[in-house]
């Protein structure tokens, strides 16, 4: 799942990810944000195992990170 960390409204990106993980625990999460990873991590907005792509990003960068998430999920499935 790809979502922005900061989303306006009652359900922000982190809350959305928590709900998706509750319903589908094997879902790999990729967040995008204009904030730095250090700021998001220190404020408790990101778990250590989630992937983050920083905005602005290029198309090839956007293609790489979900691919990495899917590959990591496949690797975990082959060892289980």
The model scores a pTM over 0.85: no
DSSP class per residue in 9-64:
SSS-HHHHHHHHHHH-TT---EEEESS-HHHHHHTT-S-TT-EEEESS--HHHHHH
Q: How far apart are CA 56 and CA 42, in angstroms?
A: 21
- pLDDT, tens digit, 9 for 90 and up, residues 4-61: 888 888 888 888 888 998 999 988 888 888 875 554 554 555 666 678 888 899 999 8
Q: Which residues does 21 contact at the CB level (< 8 Å), separation at least 6?
A: 27, 29
Q: Where do the structural domains in the chain lie, given as residue ranges?
A: 2-79
> Which architecture, in CATH terms, is 2-79?
3-Layer(aba) Sandwich (3.40)
């Amino acid at each position: 799942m790809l979502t922005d960390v900061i989303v306006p409204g009652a359900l922000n990106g982190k809350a959305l990810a928590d709900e998706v993980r509750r319903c589908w625990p094997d879902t790999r999460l990729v967040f995008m944000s204009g904030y730095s990873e250090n700021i998001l991590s220190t404020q408790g907005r990101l778990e250590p195992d989630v992937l983050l792509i920083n905005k602005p990003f290029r198309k090839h960068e956007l293609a790489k990170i979900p691919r990495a998430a899917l590959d990591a999920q496949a690797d975990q499935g082959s060892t289980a």
